[in-house]
Amino acid sequence: MNMDLSYLKRAAVGGPFWCAILALFVGVIGCESSSERHDGDMYVASFATEPPTTVLATHNANGWTVRNGDERIPLALTSNGDHRVPVFNGSWSGTWAGEVWEGVWTDSLRPNNYQVPVRLEPLADTQPTSGTRDTTYWDTSEGLLVLEQADDSAWATISTPTGDYRHLAGTFVDNQLVLNSFDGSHLFRFNATLREDSLVEGQFLSGIHYRTAFEGFKRASQAHTWTSGRQNVVADKLLFFGTNPTGQAEVWNKDRLRRDGKTGLVVDIMGTWCPNCMDEARLMVSLADSFPDVQFLTLGYERSTDSTALVRLSEFKREMGMTWPMLLGGRASKTAAAESIPALDSIHSFPTTVFWPVDGEPVVHKGFNGPATGEGYARETAFFRSQLARISGRSESR
Q: Are 231 and 348 in contact (CB under 8 A)?
A: yes
pLDDT at 35 > cutoff 50 = no
Q: How far apart are CA 305 and CA 301, in angstroms?
A: 8
CA distance 373 to 161: 13
Quote the CA–CA distance of 94 and 304 in Å, as a whole number: 28
Q: How far apart are CA 322 and CA 85, in angstroms?
A: 19
Q: Please name every residue paired with 119 in a beta bridge, in sequence order, or none if there are none.
A: 46, 102
Q: Which of 172, 201, 203 is nearest to 188 (CA)?
A: 203
For residue 104, name the pLDDT band (cuts at 50, 70, 90). Answer: very high
375-392 vs 275-288: helix crossing angle, rounded to 10? 50
- What is the Cα–Cα distance from 65 to 188, expressed in whole angstroms? 18
Alpha-carbon distance 327 to 308, whole Å? 13
Per-residue CA distances from 169 to 193, 206, 276, 342 (Å) = 16, 15, 18, 41
Q: For residues 36 and 308, which has the higher predicted lDDT (pLDDT)?
A: 308
**pLDDT for res 234:** 79
Give me the residues paired with residue 173 across strands. Answer: 176
**Distance, CA of 143 to CA of 195 (rounded, Å):** 19
| Torsion region of 336: left, alpha or beta (phi above 0 gives left; psi -120 to 50 gives alpha) | alpha
Task: Say whether pLDDT at 152 is over 60.
Answer: yes
Q: Which pLDDT value is given to residue 257?
A: 98
Q: Which of 318, 151, 324, 146 is nearest to 240 (CA)?
A: 324
Give me the count of residues in the chain.
Answer: 398
Measured in degrees and rounded to the nearest 5, phi and psi for residue 282 equal: -65, -40
Q: Report the pLDDT value the prediction gives residue 40, as an integer from 0 to 100.
A: 76
What are the pLDDT digits (tens) for 350-367?
999 999 999 999 999 999
This prediction has a pTM of 0.86
From the list 381, 383, 371, the residue with the least C-alpha distance to 165 is 371
- Of residues 237, 226, 177, 251, the one with CA closest to residue 368: 226
Helices (H), the chain: 15-26, 254-259, 275-288, 307-320, 334-339, 375-392
pLDDT at residue number 53 = 98
**Mean pLDDT value of segment 154-169:** 95
* Residue 18 in this model has a pLDDT that exceeds 50: no
* pLDDT at residue 388 in the model: 98
| Mean pLDDT, residues 324-349 taken together | 94
- What's the pLDDT band for 230 if we cut at 50, 70, 90? confident
Split at pLDDT 50, 70, 90, the class of 15 is very low
Please name the amino acid found at residue 328: L
Strands 326-331 and 294-302, how do they pair?
Answer: parallel
Closest CA to 323 of 367, 266, 248: 266
Q: Above pLDDT 70, what percent of the chain? A: 89
**Band of the pLDDT at 2, cuts 50, 70, 90?**
low
Judged against a pLDDT cut of 70, whether residue 324 lies above it is answered with yes
pLDDT computed for residue 395 by the predictor? 59
Domains, the chain, in order of start with CATH, read 15-122 (2.40.160), 134-218 (2.40.128), 229-392 (3.40.30.10)
Residues 6+ apart with CB under 8 A from 353: 266, 267, 268, 269, 280, 364, 365, 366, 368
Tens digit of pLDDT for each residue in 245-295? 999 999 999 999 999 999 999 999 999 999 999 999 999 999 999 999 999
Between 169 and 127, where is the model more confident?
169
Q: Is the pLDDT of residue 31 over 50?
A: no
Task: Tell me what pLDDT residue 396 has.
Answer: 53
* Amino acid identity, position 84: R
Sequence-separated (6 or more) residues with CB below 8 Å from residue 391? 263, 264, 265, 266, 291, 294, 355, 356, 357, 360
Task: Tell me if 231 sits within 8 A of 288, measured CB to CB.
Answer: no
Looking at the predicted structure, is the pLDDT value of residue 24 above 50? no
pLDDT of 36: 54
Top-confidence residue, 108 or 298? 298
Beta bridge partners of 54: 46
* DSSP run (H or E) holding 190: strand 187-195
Average pLDDT, the chain: 88
The pLDDT of residue 224: 75
Distance CA 211, CA 50 (A): 10
Q: For residue 295, list its beta bridge partners.
A: 265
Fill in the DSSP letter of residue 290: T
